[in-house]
Chain A
Amino acid sequence: MASKSRGKQRGEDIQQEDVFQAVVIADSFNVRFAPITNEKPKSLLPLANIPILDYTLEFLVTAGVQEIFVFCCHLADQIRTHIRQSKWSECSSCTITPVLSESCMSMGDALREIHDKSVIRSDFVLVFGDTVANLRLQDVLQEHKKRLQDKTNPQNKNSVMTMIFQKVPPGHRSRNKEDDIFLAVDQTSNRVLHYQRVREQSKLQIPVDVLADNLDVQLRYDLLDSQISVCSPEVLALFKDNFDYLNRDHFVKGLLDNEDIMEKTIHMCVLNDGYTGRVSNLQMYDTVSRDVICRWSYPLVPDTQTDNQGQIISHNRHNIYTSKDVMLAKGCVLEQNVLVGRGTRIGSNTRITDSVIGKDCKIGSDVVIENAYIWDGVTIEDQCCVDTAVICDNVVVYACTSVGPGCVLSYNVKVGPSVKIEARSRLQAAKDMDDDFGDELTEADQDAVSMINYGSKSQAFLHQPPEDSDDEDNDLVQDMFGLGIQSESSTEASSLSERSSDDEAMLDDEELFYSELLDTFVKAKEDNYNTENLILEINSLKHTYNIAIRDLYGMVMKGLIEIPLRDSQDLEPGAQLANVKKNFVRYKPLILNYIKSEESQLDCLHALEDFALSNKTVSTLLVKLLHILYDADILSEVVLIKWHNMEKEEEYKAIAKQVAPLIKWLEEAEEETSDEELGSD
């Protein structure tokens, strides 16, 4: 020690005095948990019978954070009271300070508020108050600090944020569909080059510059964004300077887009061990709860944590957790992954699996509970059935009621007896306040309706999600809860990319052209193009892909049939046909622009023929389609007859047979008209 210079020693001393700080945003600024969150802030909702915020705080304290600022906004008082009464209030290693502000509308506002308070002095951790994690934050913090001291590389030195990710391949249960992110990262430095949220698009766009400027780029679609980040204090200043940053996405995007101006960089790290999950929506509530029950989040598991009343929970085989004073009647079965809280009684022959049951609940006999989250003081009478639902405090489910998948019963709701609650309903005990006018039903009517839907003893009203929600990503995956994993593959099947790859035999240009053409039609429909613009678009596409004009006729026709068919896949053939017809009427000017001459009509017929061979629906509808086209004066009878009389290859014979009646009818009609003409002579 003596040999070291004094200056260096002083530097070390200063470093050691750094306090490890964390900012917890205990609000998600959205209404995904409505109506539950109307009465209780989201971070205080029980997850495996313990408020979510406690998981976050426990995680931070265990990770060595010494000072935590909990930013509360919605129902802030409840959070403050909770923190005051919790074990953290007398925790010596860590001070927890609630920061209250009812006026904040976004995470950006919250960070600006914290900046104004100037309490953050060094690098800090930014987390949401709904995070369950057991990561080793110290390592990440060290990595971040090391980067800042790297004098050789300005990109390292200018780093302001290290985002933490976990490797979760697509299709994994704990992959949050709202946080479906795609990331380009520099291989050597872990610098984030591109960050985007993946929506429904079938292709991902990667800016060329990102790839050209860096020799080795990782494109990652297998990461779960933990939304935990280690930040330099500058982050707060940057939020302050750019008041249009509402959330971290805006911040990241703004920094990456203006990297040359701001000269700030963002890095990332992937943690391979440890667990992280964010309860950002109901689907994630389900996933994270199950992970906690299955002990992935160890040591944050039910049996290691005690609430303020000293609840002690024992862990048994098959992940069955029970309190000592739980009363289980004869013949009741707790299958697996079940947590039952203190003071709960469960009747005989009841079967419970993959569920959490809170304190002081009364569950009757012959009840089946699967994959449900039942909070405190709930009564479920005999012969009920609850599947994949969230049931809040003091709810009563009267006898013989079945609660369908994806239901949410908010506080004090009463349903039943002997009804079936429709899947995915969100019920609350009181009517929506602001719903009074505009709704044509009188109060008595409403009551009557709810009696019919939710049973004679019910006290339940359907929660209407606010319609003017300006949160753009709200509508995307609102209600994934209760749908299960299959939803992903089903959306996949209808996505454009899969569809275009069905026709692989087309040469690539044509294939690409066709998929672009379909996109153009979809876009045209959304943006309401007029015909001229649409024709212009199609013509320019034609030039780009070097498509012969004859092929174009066929593809335009095929596209106009395929799009409405795709939209109405599950409908009756009659309805499908109506859709196609509507589309034809709408785009008639477009069709007439391309399909004028006899030859083009023939080309179009050949294309339809091929399409019918490759697509079953079309082949069943073919005759009707031709009829529609004939009625719309797009195809003339002369051409139709000529086409029918042409030499056919073997596989087309069936089609020829199929359309024979139509042709016969046409021929007769023609004869009639010619007869008439003769007669008039």
Chain B
Amino acid sequence: MEFQPIIMAAGPGSRLAELTSKCPKAALLIGNRPMVWYPINMLEKAGFEEAIIIVDMDGQAEIQRVLTESCSVKLHLEYVTVSNTDDGTADVLREIKSKIKTDLLIIPCDLITDISLHNIANLHRTHDASLTMLLSSLPSQFYESVAPGARSKKPLEKDFFGFDEKRERILFTQSEADVAENISVKKSIFKKHPYMCVKSGLTDCHLYLMKKWVVDYLVENESLAYIRTELVPHLVRKQFSKTKVKDRLPQTNQSVISENQKMDILKFSTEDEYAADIRDLSSWNDHHGDMADCYHGDKIRCYGYIQEGGLCLRTNTVSSYSEANRQIQKIFTHTGIETPHLHPSVVLQKKSQVGADCVVAEGTEIGEKVSIKRSVIGRNCKIGDHVQIVNSTLLDNVIVEDGCDIKGSIISRKSVIHQKCEITNCLVGPGQQLNTMGKYKDEMIVYTVDI
């Protein structure tokens, strides 16, 4: 096995807090399938037979239940629970070190994409990379749409990625939030890569291919807690670090001050001897313009695969979650899932219309003269007469009484919307009761509402 897939499904989903208070993030339904099913599906299609899935102690049962309930999973999943919920993603890797035998493929549970993993793997293999990551240019609707329950959209924080001339190797990363006026880049990097492309519209999909030594290094270097925010920038920076003086001059080892934490990353980044020899002997070079060795002798190399076109989104915020549900049919076609948009068990009364871009799950009853467009309706919902649902997501067991008008909202499980409510752009938490004739706009209805 070349890569060992690890699905990170223990995240608390802090940006989806209103939805995840009673349900682990990975088990949230998108198009009536749990979020984590999408990466599992991708792995299955790429031919993987087993995977490690990192889950929260509390969430494991729920995730397992939802997975078996809503879809069949052929992949053999090994559930690993994290002991400490505050652990970062890199901490998790450190914890499961004993299970890691080969290079890693790390996938977040909230990634929905139709990209073929082979493309990323090929880039990783070509350059014998230390780290390869998937970057995607966000479709504009994902950051332009207003999240249900929020009055204004949040400004999007941009990440800058500096690439080499071929737009493959990552030379620097920097988040817009971390810099004031100027970004400074060492001139020595420009000497090696005088042509650099900086892209600002890319999102890190949190999908990484990683050498096994990186985990060994993590075990030594305990200060790195998160993959995205700490480990990746660290590795990208270390690409251009040089072998220390002490390796060249034996005897005079030890650097100053950091005597407690000294560990040279270059000691870990061992390359396959034969691969290095082959590269030395071959006439192939990754750059031109100077006479330097391939990769300028850099042992650590980080690459980024930029996905152009296709489908790639992360459902880690309320707005992207609701947008994913709105575009569910597109997602289904891209990922090759065949689901009828109306489950055979759905009871549909006369004169009701359900758009072809909707998904309605089993056991749901829909009353007369109902119109549903661009929406997802969960299991065992009851929708009364004369209801209009547009651009919305209804999770399982929601009851919508007659004459309601729901636009651009998310209604969580077991909520009851009483008659003639008008809900626009709201987020309704689980188990809420909304008053008859109530009018709600841009609201976050999460805690108990007085009736």
A positions within 8 Å CB-CB of B: 169-171, 182, 184, 187, 198, 201-208, 211-212, 214-222, 492, 495, 497-498, 501-508, 510, 551, 554-555, 558, 607, 610-611, 613-616, 619, 651
Contacts and interface: CB of A to CB of B under 8 A. Distances in A.
B258 A169 contact: no
B185 A203 contact: yes
Given A216-B197, A216-B199, A220-B194, A505 B289 contact: no
A510 B265 CA distance: 16
Nearest to B249: A616
Given A212-B200, A502-B242, A505-B244, A651 B195 contact: no
Contacts of A169: 194, 289-290
A206 B261 CA distance: 32
Given A171-B290, A504-B242, A205 B184 contact: yes
A202 B257 contact: no
29 contacts: A184-B198, A201-B187, A202-B187, A202-B188, A203-B186, A207-B183, A212-B176, A216-B200, A217-B200, A218-B195, A218-B197, A219-B185, A219-B196, A221-B190, A222-B195, A492-B188, A495-B187, A502-B242, A503-B244, A504-B242, A505-B263, A506-B258, A508-B234, A510-B257, A558-B257, A610-B255, A610-B259, A614-B246, A651-B253
Give 6 nearest A-B pairs by CB, closest first: A222-B194, A169-B289, A205-B182, A221-B190, A221-B194, A219-B196
Contacts of B246: 614
Contact of B255 (A187, A203, A506): A506
B188 A505 contact: no
A611 B256 contact: yes
Given A505-B262, A508-B237, A614-B246, A651 B254 contact: yes
A207 B199 CA distance: 14
Contacts of B166: none
B327 to A, nearest CB: 22
A442 to B, nearest CB: 49
B166 to A, nearest CB: 13
A262 to B, nearest CB: 21
Contact of A208 (B176, B188, B263): B176
B439 interface: no
B162 A219 contact: yes
B160 interface: yes
Nearest to B245: A502
Contacts of B68: none
Contacts of A551: 257
Contacts of B258: 505-507, 510
Given A502-B244, A504-B241, A611-B256, A219 B190 contact: yes
Given A212-B200, A510-B258, A651-B254, 9 more contacts: A171-B290, A201-B187, A206-B198, A208-B176, A208-B182, A217-B198, A222-B195, A505-B262, A619-B252
A497 B187 CA distance: 8
Nearest to A223: B194
Nearest to B288: A169
Contacts of A619: 252
Given A206-B185, A211-B198, A216-B199, A505 B264 contact: yes
A206 B257 contact: no
A613 B257 CA distance: 11
B226 interface: no
B223 interface: yes
Interface string B176-215: 1001111111111011001111111100000000000000
Interface in B231-282: 234, 237-238, 240-242, 244-246, 249, 252-259, 261-266
Contacts of A187: 197
B188 A497 contact: yes
Contacts of A211: 160, 183, 198, 200
B158 interface: yes
B183 A554 contact: no
Contacts of A614: 245-246, 252-256
A507 B191 CA distance: 24
Chain B: interface size category: 35 or more
Nearest to A651: B254
Contact of B194 (A170, A203, A214, A217): A170
Contacts of A218: 195-198
A558 B289 contact: no
A160 to B, nearest CB: 25
Contacts of B234: 508
B88 to A, nearest CB: 17
A136 B8 CA distance: 57
B196 A204 contact: no
A204 B290 contact: no
A508 B256 CA distance: 13
A508 B240 CA distance: 13
Contacts of A497: 186-188
Nearest to A548: B257
Contacts of A554: 256-257
A555 B234 CA distance: 23
Contacts of A205: 182-184
Contacts of B185: 203-204, 206, 219
Contacts of B240: 501
Contact of B179 (A208, A216, A498): A208
Nearest to A270: B195
A12 B356 CA distance: 54
Interface string B151-188: 00000001010100000000000001001111111111
Nearest to A201: B187
B428 to A, nearest CB: 36
Contacts of B289: 169, 222
Contacts of B160: 211-212
Q: Choose among B180, B188, B191, B255 the residue with the greatest number of A CB atoms under 10 Å from its CB.
A: B255
B194 A610 contact: no
B254 A501 contact: no
A203 B191 CA distance: 11
A558 B258 CA distance: 13
A187 B165 CA distance: 12
Contacts of A502: 242, 244-245
Contacts of B255: 503-506, 610, 614
A208 B190 contact: no
Contacts of A492: 188
B387 to A, nearest CB: 42
A206 B184 contact: yes
Given A206-B185, A219-B197, A610-B254, A212 B191 contact: no
A491 to B, nearest CB: 11
Contacts of A651: 253-254
Interface in B307-341: none
A212 B158 contact: yes
A226 to B, nearest CB: 17
